[in-house]
Each structure stands twice: as structure tokens, then as C-alpha cells.
Amino acid sequence: MPDNPFLARHDQAQLQERRLDLFLGQLPIMLFSLVGGVFADRMDRRKMLLYSQYIQMVCAFLLAALFATHAVKVWHILTLSFMVGVGQSFGGPAYSALLPTPSPVRPGGRLPLHAHRGFRPKT
């Protein structure tokens, strides 16, 4: 049994805390993804992606330090989940904007010749 009573509980309160944690992790994504998309269009996408990864990394290390020192509280987890969600809401649009289009369609609706090379039978 863990030393931390938060980790040992398996009751209705813990279930509600888990739901709240999931909600607070997704809330910034729902609220700030459009804003993150605007920033991804106007700023350097690589730097924006790095900053969002830094935010998530700091939150992960902070949570690990709180667990290592047995000082973690529920509000720590909820706050860090929200901050990770904020990082993801800005990193997601920047990441999707960095991905190149896998097979560009030429004018007239035809694919480039190299797109069909993988489908030829080997002779």
C-alpha cells in the first residue's frame, strides 16, 4: 500500500477527482486551440512547438518531484493537468501546421507520378 493516502483511495471521491482531472486537461484544448492556431499562423511554428513542449516537460518534472517528496496534493495534479492542456492547445496546431502534405494534388485532380510507385507490382 502506498504511503500517500491519495494513491490508496478507491472510492467515489477519487473517481470524481479523476473525472475533474480529465476535464481540466481537456478544457484548455477546447478553449485555446483556435487561439493556438492563430498564433501558429503568425509566429515561428518550431519555436512555438518547443515552448509548448517545455511547458509540458516542466509540469512532468514538477509532478515527479512532488511525488518523490510525498508532497503531492489533489490541487497540484489538477493545476498541472490544466497547464499541460494549455501547452497542448498551443502545440497541437503548431505541430499540424509543420506537417507537410503527403501527396499534393496537381491542378486537374491528378496525383504526381511518384505517388503511384508504391502500388506497382514488382517484376
Confidence of residue 110 (pLDDT cuts 50, 70, 90): low
Residues 11-48: tens digit of each pLDDT: 677 788 888 989 999 999 999 988 888 888 888 888 88
Boundaries of every domain in the chain? 27-98
- For residues 53 and 115, give the distance between their C-alpha atoms in angstroms, rounded to a whole number: 33
pTM for the whole structure = 0.69
Q: How confident is the model at residue 1 (pLDDT cuts 50, 70, 90)?
A: very low
Cell of 117: 510507385
Q: What are 53-81's pLDDT values in tens digits?
A: 999 999 999 999 999 999 999 999 999 99
Confidence grade of residue 52 (pLDDT, cut at 50, 70, 90): very high
**DSSP single-letter state for residue 117:** G
Q: Does 10 have pLDDT greater than 70?
A: no
* 121 CB-near residues (< 8 Å, 6+ apart): none
> Between residues 104 and 18, which one has the greater pLDDT?
18
Task: Identify whether the C-beta of residue 40 lies closer than 8 Å to the C-beta of residue 97.
Answer: yes
